[in-house]
Structure 1
């Protein structure tokens, strides 16, 4: 695949980022595309490795390795190397409905499984994917393709995140009449309101939604199932119901002072910011501003990074990010974390780079536990109390945090953002339709079947598997569509 000796001749060249001083002044995307010729050269680095590990997603020690949607990576790397971009786009769309999303926000487990990555920087699979799809849109190759025939079967999809959109797209291709219910005012779920514009421009999301609508998918926004319309009504009126509501219950931090003004969930902060940005370019003031504030983000994942980057664009006085887990090693420990597992090593994302530029140091601190929030007489947050911890094992081998004496701190804070992940889907729909849930409160449905314990009700994505990646949500959306099609028709035509 690619040029047989390309990996020996060319070094890795990833998509560049816009200069930090420039991008901190706006909400435009951080990453920009390489030129087409550079991308073709990067495609040449895809080696004839014999057994490609990049294109089949597997979970190894709770980390993904390889592509969860089974992208035919060696094939389209070879095609772009040869300048056959239209064919590369066709191969990419064969397995992935939304490469413009994954090409922007996926952490690229495919690159973790790249054979070249054993001892050299991996092929730029993630950036190649984005270049293919963006080039396809630029050339007018991505157009609505409504189905030629309709089955007359009706399907309700609840939730318009990546799983819901993938399920809707596939079921519509099969000829079913699909209606997507979204409680927000715009379609896209976390793609629209959970991921900031500088990572995923909302025009990119809307562009794909518009194509799906032209293909025949019906979107109903501002409709919350379980409130504005009952889940039982959908169950009665549609031939099948697919629940892709996401895992939207945020993990809370139940310490003294949690009720103070100035302590917010990360998604409150991010959602309001994006909505105000889209509605009025932040002129309406309907968002939680970090301007001039001392900000502390609790949580070290992608959402925490997005909070850091958003706070910097607001013009915060400073921002810190606390993580209760240990600092990862700079490089993969090959004895305990060998290839092709996801590398458990320190990564500096766009938000940390920006904070380092503005503040002179990485905003992240590790092994920090919050003890309480302190407020003034009016109930406003003024400080956070923390202590450093060490992870220990009890007599049964379970890990627990042990406070380190003498490390207590009081830090001034005006805004605290809780970015500690999610606990599962909300309760209303499950209670109304009376189907089973697993021990983590997720909708109980076996992977590969996706059937809940209530007839003709299916579940997929984060609502079924728990908080995960966009690419896994697309995987599940496509897979649940196959099973719904099989349920409705007795067999399935979907890949």
Structure 2
């Protein structure tokens, strides 16, 4: 460790955000450009280089966090990049989008603010690109084996890059017109500008990975045709079957799923559209769902100029600090967190009927009412107790011209016919079943990521991609030197 007293002498300092009034007028990332590097060396000094670093266990990728913290504190950015990329294909993604379970598992977090692991990670990744430490790594020789990867989210991209570097000829199939999955059409640009994705895709193309866009497997190319063309198929289609809200008035126009709404904003940023057809401009917006997707809708609606935005969370408001009896260290605690979008809503007072950050906690939707044209105009809700039972006399009505449902996802989408054409076995949750080697019940077909695990975090998605790549490489060649950070049945630490 570079500074044995760093964790005692240096307070936690995070990546500063741009002023709210400035950043809500554009779609650029919320952070102050260039503001991280002056502080990140001191923050890396706070790492204690623990003998048993629980941040490793909390991170499914097994990131070598104390090692690259020490290298950053010594200003050795090339070595830090090497150690970071040894376990993570896309640290510029996770450094921006991951909720950092590693920080919850930081030993310092037992009684102090954790090391800013996520900030150090993104600083290394960005410095690596700026200084040319991430050149393409094409294989020295080809294996003669071919692999199709269906889906181009973080799982599919990680699997494809690993298998390409192992010498296999890999083609990634994506039903959208651009590669990236939810990274492209789902994650708002203010959380991750798409240039980071485009830059990594160019690296993958230079390594030999092939990309096939606007191709829906099951329609444009049948599942049997795909299996005939390739020695192995990896299904990384994600969990895109959204959960519904079965209440009276759901049929009214103006009520949309979050993933119907968010991609339009991304397309505006890509230059495909001048204005989103579902724009929140001038509308009273209510978001049903208290998770990250709901927060993405919140930040997007604020930038589009909504008249008001309120977010409903059925759970009670979390405490500010970890409850060590319920969620002991090093598990990831459910505590009150203020995302950039909630900070914006708080400062701009977007929801006068809600709490300070636009969220109404312990709130359950009862029904919607509309006007004579069949458009939604109001959302009726009730407060619920810890058992989700309605609290008598707590009913309220919110104006609602646009309602966004951000209730999560139940499994892979079946409308394209891929699952039925292959005859894949599904578990009771609707996700694809697989064995200890990521293999499905169909020979030479493997499943990874949210399609098989269920809705999860980006860091788990990348870990799944790396692990399924090792399994496929072993099946094709009999042996593999690719790392497999997790197994298909591993789960995050819980109490």
Q: Do Structure 1 and Structure 2 share a fold, with TM-score over 0.5?
A: yes
Secondary structure of the corresponding residue to residue 390 of structure 1: coil
Output aligned runs, 1:22-421, within 5 Å.
22-32=22-32, 33-56=34-57, 66-280=58-272, 282-283=273-274, 285-359=275-349, 361-392=356-387, 401-421=388-408
Does the aligned pair in 2 maintain the 1:2–1:47 contact within 8 Å? Answer: no
Structure 1 stretches of 4+ with a deviation exceeding 3 A read 32-35
Q: Deviations over 1:372-409 (max 9, x none)?
A: 111111111111111112233xxxxxxxx322222222
Residue 327 of structure 1: how far off its partner (Å): 1.3
What's 1:425 paired with?
Answer: 412
Whole-angstrom CA distance in 1 between matches of 2:370 and 2:245: 16
**Structure 2 gap segments, 5+ residues each:** 351-355, 484-495
Q: Deviations over 1:424-466 (max 9, x none)?
A: 10122211100211110101013x4110000000000000100
2:431 to 438, 442, 448: 442
Whole-angstrom CA distance in 1 between matches of 2:377 and 2:338: 29
Whole-angstrom CA distance in 2 between matches of 1:161 and 1:345: 28
Residue 276 of structure 1: how far off its partner (Å): 2.3
Does the aligned pair in 1 maintain the 2:16–2:36 contact within 8 Å? Answer: no
Q: How large is the Cα RMSD of the aligned pairs?
A: 1.2
What's 2:487 paired with?
Answer: none
Q: Are 1:492 and 2:480 matched, yes or no?
A: yes
What's 1:61 paired with?
Answer: none
Q: Deviations over 1:3-53 (max 9, x none)?
A: 211111211111111111100000000124534342111111111322110
Secondary structure of the corresponding residue to residue 143 of structure 1: coil
Corresponding pairs, count: 475
Secondary structure of the corresponding residue to residue 309 of structure 1: helix
Secondary structure of the corresponding residue to residue 391 of structure 1: coil
Whole-angstrom CA distance in 1 between matches of 2:459 and 2:49: 25
Residue 286 of structure 1: how far off its partner (Å): 4.1
Residue 493 of structure 1: how far off its partner (Å): 2.2
Does the aligned pair in 2 maintain the 1:309–1:354 contact within 8 Å? Answer: yes
Does the aligned pair in 2 maintain the 1:2–1:45 contact within 8 Å? Answer: no
Does the aligned pair in 2 maintain the 1:55–1:73 contact within 8 Å? Answer: yes
Whole-angstrom CA distance in 1 between matches of 2:49 and 2:382: 51
Secondary structure of the corresponding residue to residue 261 of structure 1: coil
Q: Deviations over 1:143-185 (max 9, x none)?
A: 1111110001000000000000000000001100000000001
Question: Normalising by the residue count of structure 1, what TM-score does the alignment of the two structures yield?
Answer: 0.94
Residue 105 of structure 1: how far off its partner (Å): 0.4
